[in-house]
Structure 1
Amino acid sequence: MSSIYLVLDMQNDLVHAGGPNGKSPLGEQVVARDVVNKTARAIAKARDAGVPVAFVRVGFSPDYRECPKGSAVFSGAPAAGIFKLGAWGTEIHPALGKREEDALITKHRVSPFYATDLEVLLRTLGVKRIYCSGVASQAVVQATVRDAHDRDFDVVVLEDCCAGPSAEEHRNSMQSIARFCRTESSEAMRFETLI
């Protein structure tokens, strides 16, 4: 397999209507853009094309030992009780139908490449193209695109399967990564294995 679909941070804490971000600006954008349903359809298309699916999530040990105390992004997680491994919040949204054979990458920072086994997985599978989408556009999506680009992967972002805290932030994020990837809609996307 020389391509893969990375589904980024589509976990209950961030995208489930009943989760802590369900009523937040990000949660509102996830609903308004129908991100969960579009991602589920994109996953089905990838599977039909023979492209493997891998999920990325952010998670910390129950004592939050890996959580950076000075981070504006993560330092509030312990008090909020979010991103705790073994809890409902770090499970992939049930509508996405994660399978036992799907890789699951757990990260402790914004980028899924930092201190994880993602690159080992990609090199072992012979991946040359990464299809990706998720939340939030200005965080994990941007980090994935930039880090993948610098590791010489071809990257395609499914734009309509991404969301940020506002439509403007999402738009700006897509514009800022345009030089490093291709963007497509999930409806128009034809997943290819590139064998």
Structure 2
Amino acid sequence: MADTFTIDPVRTAVLSMDCQAGIVSIYTRENKDTFLVRVANVLNHARTIGMTIIHIQVGFRPGHPEISSRNAVLGAIKSSEQHQRLFQDPLGAIPEPIAPHADEIVITKHRISAFAGTDLAMILRAKDIDTLVLYGIATSGVVLSTLTEATDADHRVVVIGDCCADLDSALHDCLVQRFFPTRGPVFSSEGFIAASPRTNEQRTDTQS
């Protein structure tokens, strides 16, 4: 599928999801620097060719009124000051190498999916976006949840597999290798950059 998948940068958005300092440190313990380099390369390429970039981050009001104690995943945050610090500065900030540029959209979410309770769908409609490039942490969390909602909303989806991370490596591999490809192509960061349209300036640099 990846060989025949074409991308129109004007109608494509890159969703950089939950790549906050504390989360990145936990999920990419042994390869944090290389993970950030891969993500930065994808973002910089997307900026160069004119894709919309949307940064998704997790955040809550004081007292965490958005979280129900019945929520099996998020309830742990409300009951643990240690977990809460992950979503407060400095741990809650997006690391400098992959931080939003001034003109880029930042959406704060309170659930697993980037769509749940946010204005993401409205922004995509307003910008006439039909293709989403997805990556983030965790593979079995925000990436999986956002992908399933996106495909149900008739968006075309692409996943950057080596820009995703999960504490369960077997589950990560299963999703990236078996489930995600049933919904859209899965690229490596280098493969995505190579497969994406290039500007005239990039073509000249490559040929020189």
Structure 1 pair 84–39 and aligned structure 2 pair: CA distance change class (3 A): closer
Measured on the aligned residues, the alpha-carbon RMSD in Å equals 1.9
Q: What is the identity percentage for the equivalent residue pairs of Structure 1 and Structure 2?
A: 26
Query: Quick check: 1:42–1:186 contact (8 Å CA) kept in 2?
Result: yes
Aligned-pair distance for 1:28?
Answer: 2.5
Aligned-pair distance for 1:179?
Answer: 1.3
Aligned residues: 183
CA–CA distance in structure 1, aligned partners of residues 40 and 12 of structure 2: 18
SS in structure 2 of the partner of residue 46 of structure 1: helix
Aligned to 1:28: 29
CA–CA distance in structure 1, aligned partners of residues 102 and 121 of structure 2: 20
Equivalent position amino acid for 2:16 in 1: V
CA–CA distance in structure 2, aligned partners of residues 82 and 156 of structure 1: 31
User: Which ranges in structure 1 are unaligned for 5 or more consecutive residues?
Assistant: none
Aligned to 2:49: 49
Query: Quick check: 1:138–1:164 contact (8 Å CA) kept in 2?
Result: yes
2:20 pairs, out of 11, 31, 54, with 11
SS in structure 1 of the partner of residue 118 of structure 2: coil
Aligned-pair distance for 1:27?
Answer: 3.3
1:2 pairs, out of 2, 11, 27, with 11
Aligned-pair distance for 1:30?
Answer: 5.4
Aligned to 2:190: 187
Aligned to 2:3: none
Aligned to 1:64: 64
Structure 1 pair 62–192 and aligned structure 2 pair: CA distance change class (3 A): farther
CA–CA distance in structure 1, aligned partners of residues 114 and 15 of structure 2: 10
Aligned to 1:141: 143
CA offsets per residue over residues 99-119 of structure 1, 9 Å max, x none? 121111111110011110000
Aligned to 2:6: none
Aligned-pair distance for 1:169?
Answer: 1.8
TM-score, with structure 2 as normaliser: 0.81
Query: Quick check: 2:28–2:35 contact (8 Å CA) kept in 1?
Result: no
Aligned to 2:157: 155
Aligned to 1:130: 132
CA–CA distance in structure 2, aligned partners of residues 44 and 77 of structure 1: 33
CA–CA distance in structure 2, aligned partners of residues 63 and 172 of structure 1: 36
Pairs within 5 Å for 1:85-96 = 87-96=89-98
Structure 1 pair 139–99 and aligned structure 2 pair: CA distance change class (3 A): same
Equivalent position amino acid for 2:13 in 1: I
Aligned-pair distance for 1:83?
Answer: 4.9
Equivalent position amino acid for 1:55 in 2: H
TM-score, with structure 1 as normaliser: 0.86
Aligned to 1:178: 181
Equivalent position amino acid for 2:22 in 1: D
Aligned-pair distance for 1:135?
Answer: 0.7
User: Looking at CA atoms only, which structure, 1 or 2, has the larger radius of gyration?
Assistant: 2
Higher relative helix content: 2
CA–CA distance in structure 2, aligned partners of residues 61 and 29 of structure 1: 32
Equivalent position amino acid for 2:119 in 1: D
CA–CA distance in structure 2, aligned partners of residues 140 and 30 of structure 1: 20
User: Which ranges in structure 2 are unaligned for 5 or more consecutive residues?
Assistant: 1-9, 199-208
